[in-house]
Structure 1
Amino acid sequence: MRLSIIRDAFDLVTKTQNLSSSKTDEVIDQIGLEIEIALGKMHNTEPGVDCKDVLNELMRNLLRIAPLSQMEGIQNELNVPLCEYKKILEKYFNPDISKAYRNFDIDTHTLNQIISKHFYREGLFDVGDHFVSVLGEPESAAIMKSPFLEMYQMLEAMKDRNLEPALNWAATNSDKLAQSKSDIVLKLHSMQFLKILQNGSIVETIDYGRTYLSPFTSTHKDHIQMLMACLMWIGKLDQSPYKALLLPSNWERLAEELKRQFCNLLGESYNSPLSVTLAAGVQVLPTILKFTNILVKKRQSMNHLPVPIDLGCEFQFHPIFVCPVSKYPATEDNPPMFAACGDVFCKQSILMMTRNGTRVFQCPYCPLDIDAAECRQLHF
C-alpha cells in the first residue's frame, strides 16, 4: 500500500514533468523561429527601414508567444506534484532513524565476526581482509575466509563452464550430501553429461553416463531416461525437444544450488545473517518509528514493541509465540499455556490474572471461566 502511494506520486511528477518539458520546448522553438525571422529582416533591410522597428516587433511577438504568466504557469504545474511528492517521502521515509535506537549490551567481538563473515560469504575478500586487519584480528581471517574462498573458486569456474572443481567437491562430500538428501551431485553430473554431448563425442558421453549417472537410475529414472534420449540429437540438441536443457539460466540455477548446499554443509544459512537482519530492520523501521513518535509525545519509553509485527514468511525461521495479553514472546521460563477454551497465553500472564488468590480467571477473549490448574504447556 505504502509503495503504491509513493509510486503513484512519482508517476504523477514524471508525467507532469514530461508535459511541462514538452510545452517549454514548443515555446522555445517558436521563440527561435521569431528571432530567425527578425534577423533575416535586419540583414535584408531596405532603405528607410529602421532596425529598431524590427526589434520592437520581435519583442511584441515574443510577449504574445510566451507571456511571463504562461511561463510561470508551466513551472507551477510542475511545482505542485513535486511538493506533494516531497511530503509523501518525508511521511513514509523519516530521515531521523536514530529515534529507533536503544542502548543495549552487545558483544563487539561477535558483531565484528558477523560483519567479517558477511564480506567473505559475499565474495568481497579484499574488503574482508582489510576489515579484519583494522580490527587487529588477522588470525580469525583465515578460518572464516578459507571455506568461502573454495566456494567462489567453484562458482567462478562455473562461469567459464568448468565443472571440475564443483565435481571434485561433490565427490569429496558425497556422503554428507546424501545424508542431507541433496541431489546436487546428480545435477552436476547431468550438466557435465550435456556439456560432453555438445562437444559431439557420443562414445565419451555414453561412457560418462554409465559411470556417473547409472547409480541414480533407481531414484531418478525419468530424468536419466531424458538425458539418454538426448543422445539421439547429438550435434543438434538445440533443435530437439530437449533444447531447454541448454538454457544459460540452468547454469545460474545450478550455481545457486551449489552455493546453497555448500553453506548447508558448513552449517551456515544460505543468506547472510547480516543481510537478513538489515532487510528485516528496514521492513519494521517505519512501524518502530511510528510507535516511538507516539510514545515520545506521551513521554513514555518503549522497552519492547507493544504489538507483534508480521515480517512475512521469508523471515520466519522457527515458531515464535507472542502472548496476546502481555505482548511478550514466550521463553523457556515463560512458556505458552493452552487453556480449556482453546486460547493460549503465556504462563506469567495466567499468574497475573490469578493474582487475587483464586485459581479461576475469566478468559479475556471469550466469556468462559478458566481453571488455571487445567492449563497445559503448549509445545511447538
Structure 2
Amino acid sequence: METFIKDYDKILKKQRALETNDPLDRLIAVVNEAKEKIQNGPESVNASLATLSKAIKTVSNGISEEQKELQSALTKYSKAIDKKFVADMMGTINPHAFDNKEKILRNTIAMHFIRQGNFEVGDAFAKEAGLTIPDAMRHQFVEMFDIHAALKENNLEPALLWATRHRSELEKRPSTLEFKLHRQRYLQLLQNKQTQEAIVYARKNFGYFGERHTQEILRLMGCIAYMDRIETSPYADLITPSFSDDIQHMFTRDFCSLIGLPCESPLYVSVTVGTQALPTINKMVAIMKAKKTEWSQQSELPVEINLTDNTKFHSIFACPVSKEQATEENPPMMMVCGHVICKESLVKLGRGNANQRFKCPYCPTESMISQAKNVFF
C-alpha cells in the first residue's frame, strides 16, 4: 500500500500545480493583453493578433504537455492498481455454497435489517421473501434503538431504567453497565455546575456498587474539588469524549447478550471475515491455478486465514471428519500435528488401541490416541 500512497501523492501534487497555475487564467491574461494593445493602438491590430495567436499556441502547448503528464501518471497508477488487485473473483466463489440454504440466507438478511434499525426495509424484505419475523424480537430491537437514540442525545434515563430492570441478569454476566450509566449521569450534573444535585445523586445510587467499585467512587467524589479545571487535573480521564461511545457499545452488547444474540449481526460478521480472507484466498487460487491442482477437501480452507480478534469465534466445534458437533462426551482432540478432530473419530482411526499409530486425515503425520490432547474452546 505504501507504493500506492506515494504514486497517489505524485498525482495530487501535479493536480495542485495545475490548479495554482490555472491554464484558463493564462489564456485570459493573454487575450486581455492583446485587447488592451489594440485599444491603445488600432494601427497595430495585425501585429497584436499575430502575437496573440503565437501566445495562444504557446500556452495551449504548455497546457497539453501538463495534461499529458497528469494523464500519464493517472494511467500508471490505474495499471498498478489493476495489477495488484484482482478484479475477477469468480475463482474464489463457490456457486453451490447456499444450495438448499436459501431460507437461512433470506432470514439472515431480514434480521440484519432489523438489527440495524431499518425496520420498514426488514419488514418489506421479510414479506416478499415469505418470512415471518417474531413480533417479540422486533419489539425488543425497537426498544434497543429507542434507548440507543436517547444515549446519542446524552439522555441516560431510558438506559438507566432498562439496566435497573435487568440488574440481576446483568450481574450474572457480569456487566458494569448500570454503574457506568450512574457514573456518567453524576458527571453530567457536575459539568452542568449542579454540584449539590450530583452529591445527592451519588448518595442515592453509588451505595449499591460500593464494594465492587470503591476506588472509582472515591475518585468520582474527589473530582468535585477540580471541576473548574478538571481538564488539567489528575481526574481528566473521567470526562473523556469517547466514554459516551463506550457506553453506547456496552449497552448494545449487553442488550443483545440478554436476548441470546451476538453484538454484531451474523451478516456483518460474515462479510467482514470474507473481506479479510479474500486476499489470501485469491493468492491461493492463483497458486493452484499455476500448478494446475485443486483443493480436494470440501468445506475446508487450504491455509490459515489471519483474522482480527473481534471476528474469531470458538463457541462450538464441528469435527471435520464426522461433521458432528463436539459435546462433553465427544470433545475435540488435538493430535501431535496440530489438527483437531472429535474423540469418537480419533478412536475409530486408532481402532480403539491407544498406542496404535495412524495417519492424520489431513497431513502425512502419524499419531496415536495416547498422544492426543483435549482442546477447550
Pairwise same-fold verdict (TM > 0.5): yes
Q: Can you list the C-alpha shifts for 1:84-121, whole angstroms capped at 9, x where unaligned?
A: 21122223333332332211335222222222222222
Given the superposition, is the C-alpha separation of residues 165 and 223 from structure 1 closer, same or farther in structure 2, using an over 3 Å criterion?
A: same
CA distance in 2, matches of 1:308, 1:239: 47
Q: Can you list the C-alpha shifts for 1:162-185, whole angstroms capped at 9, x where unaligned?
A: 222111111111011111121111
Q: Can you list the C-alpha shifts for 1:263-293, whole angstroms capped at 9, x where unaligned?
A: 2212222222211110111122233233334
Given the superposition, is the C-alpha separation of residues 87 and 144 from structure 1 closer, same or farther in structure 2, using an over 3 Å criterion?
A: farther
CA distance in 2, matches of 1:28, 1:130: 53
Q: Residue 338 of structure 1 aligns to which amino acid in structure 2?
A: M
Q: Which of 4, 8, 19 is 2:2 aligned to?
A: 4
1:120–1:144 contact (8 Å) kept in structure 2: no
Identity %: 29
The answer for the alignment partner of 1:375 in structure 2 is 371
Q: Can you list the C-alpha shifts for 1:308-327, whole angstroms capped at 9, x where unaligned?
A: 2222333222299999xx9x
2:72 counterpart of 1:80 = yes
2:39 counterpart of 1:43 = yes
Given the superposition, is the C-alpha separation of residues 222 and 75 from structure 1 closer, same or farther in structure 2, using an over 3 Å criterion?
A: same
Give 1:150 deviation, angstroms. 1.0
2:335 counterpart of 1:338 = yes
Give 1:360 deviation, angstroms. 5.5
Q: Secondary structure at the match of 2:80?
A: helix
Q: Can you list the C-alpha shifts for 1:332-376, whole angstroms capped at 9, x where unaligned?
A: 59955434xxx434568999999xxx956899xxxxx96736432
Q: Can you list the C-alpha shifts for 1:7-28, whole angstroms capped at 9, x where unaligned?
A: 23322222233234445x2x54
The answer for the alignment partner of 1:110 in structure 2 is 104
- Total equivalences in the alignment: 357
2:350–2:368 contact (8 Å) kept in structure 1: no
Given the superposition, is the C-alpha separation of residues 22 and 270 from structure 1 closer, same or farther in structure 2, using an over 3 Å criterion?
A: same
2:146 counterpart of 1:153 = yes
Q: Residue 69 of structure 2 aligns to which amino acid in structure 1?
A: E
CA distance in 2, matches of 1:160, 1:60: 65
Given the superposition, is the C-alpha separation of residues 122 and 373 from structure 1 closer, same or farther in structure 2, using an over 3 Å criterion?
A: closer
1:163–1:192 contact (8 Å) kept in structure 2: yes
2:190–2:224 contact (8 Å) kept in structure 1: yes
Give 1:207 deviation, angstroms. 3.4
Larger mean Cα displacement after TM superposition, 28-37 or 216-225: 28-37
Q: Residue 15 of structure 2 aligns to which amino acid in structure 1?
A: Q
Given the superposition, is the C-alpha separation of residues 6 and 199 from structure 1 closer, same or farther in structure 2, using an over 3 Å criterion?
A: closer
The answer for the alignment partner of 2:200 in structure 1 is 207
2:269 counterpart of 1:276 = yes
Unaligned runs of 5+ in 2: none
Given the superposition, is the C-alpha separation of residues 34 and 191 from structure 1 closer, same or farther in structure 2, using an over 3 Å criterion?
A: closer
CA distance in 1, matches of 2:2, 2:284: 23
Q: Residue 213 of structure 2 aligns to which amino acid in structure 1?
A: H
1:330–1:346 contact (8 Å) kept in structure 2: no
CA distance in 2, matches of 1:285, 1:239: 45
Q: Which of 294, 303, 306 is 2:302 aligned to?
A: 306
Give 1:194 deviation, angstroms. 2.9
Q: Secondary structure at the match of 2:174?
A: coil
Q: Can you list the C-alpha shifts for 1:121-141, whole angstroms capped at 9, x where unaligned?
A: 22222222222222233x415
Given the superposition, is the C-alpha separation of residues 350 and 299 from structure 1 closer, same or farther in structure 2, using an over 3 Å criterion?
A: farther
**Equivalent residue runs for 1:285-324 within 5 Å:** 285-296=278-289, 300-302=293-295, 303=298, 304-318=300-314
The answer for the alignment partner of 2:11 in structure 1 is 13
Q: Secondary structure at the match of 1:318?
A: coil
Q: Residue 258 of structure 1 aligns to which amino acid in structure 2?
A: F
CA distance in 1, matches of 2:331, 2:172: 36
Given the superposition, is the C-alpha separation of residues 247 and 320 from structure 1 closer, same or farther in structure 2, using an over 3 Å criterion?
A: closer
2:124 counterpart of 1:127 = no
CA distance in 2, matches of 1:269, 1:16: 48
Q: Secondary structure at the match of 1:74?
A: helix
Q: Compute the TM-score of the two structures, normalised by the length of structure 2.
A: 0.79
Given the superposition, is the C-alpha separation of residues 166 and 15 from structure 1 closer, same or farther in structure 2, using an over 3 Å criterion?
A: same
CA distance in 2, matches of 1:283, 1:371: 33
2:349–2:358 contact (8 Å) kept in structure 1: no
Larger mean Cα displacement after TM superposition, 161-170 or 100-109: 100-109
The answer for the alignment partner of 1:366 in structure 2 is none
2:97 counterpart of 1:101 = no
Q: Secondary structure at the match of 1:42?
A: helix
Given the superposition, is the C-alpha separation of residues 322 and 308 from structure 1 closer, same or farther in structure 2, using an over 3 Å criterion?
A: farther
CA distance in 1, matches of 2:76, 2:347: 50
CA RMSD after TM alignment:
3.9
The answer for the alignment partner of 2:29 in structure 1 is 33
